[in-house]
Amino acid sequence: MDREFLTDLFADFGPVTIRKMFSGHGISADGVNFALSLRAGLFFRADEATIPDFEAEGSKPFQYSTRAKTVVVNSYWELPARLFDDSDDFVRWARAALAAAQRAKVKARPKARKAAVKKTASRPAKKITPKKPVAKKRSAKKKVSWRSAKKAAKKKVS
């Protein structure tokens, strides 16, 4: 899907930002990415509230293969083909995908903030004391320069 097709497809939905992403495009509204257009098709953001709708339509989650395994991404589901012809239903599904993406964004942020607050609040202030210099120990072995080693080798040979 090219940029022009995506712009026409989302015209009834409202203004969207389309950016190059991976092998296709990322589609966002209000600064939230809610759809992916890739070689395999168009995928909308989904969560526990919207996944049953995708399953009822026979859609599957986005997946890709690596050398070792196939990775399934349950947060993006393939858009049912019938929605490309029905703009009203398409807009309804796009709004649901945007809502799912916004819910995911809200869930993700507080966890990070709480973790950062816990780390700083639970640790008492640590006193920093300067370390005393440690005297270097001399080895019992006498250090030999390369010149004196060379002279000693010549004496042994003679």
| pLDDT tens-digit profile, the chain (158 residues) | 788 999 999 999 999 999 998 789 999 998 999 999 988 789 999 999 999 999 999 999 999 889 999 999 999 999 999 999 999 999 999 999 999 999 988 876 655 555 555 555 566 666 676 666 666 666 555 666 667 777 777 777 65
- Predicted pLDDT of residue 115: 54
pLDDT at 69: 94
Please state the pTM of the whole predicted model.
0.65
Q: Which domains does the chain have, with CATH numbers?
A: 3-117 (3.30.1460.30)
Instruction: Please write down the long-range contacts of 98-104, taking CB distance under 8 Å and 24 or more positions apart.
Output: 98/29, 98/30, 98/32, 98/34, 98/45, 100/34, 100/44, 100/45, 100/46, 100/47, 100/49, 100/50, 101/32, 101/33, 101/34, 101/45, 102/30, 102/32, 103/47, 103/49, 104/45, 104/47, 104/75
pLDDT of residue 29: 94
pLDDT for the residue 153? 75
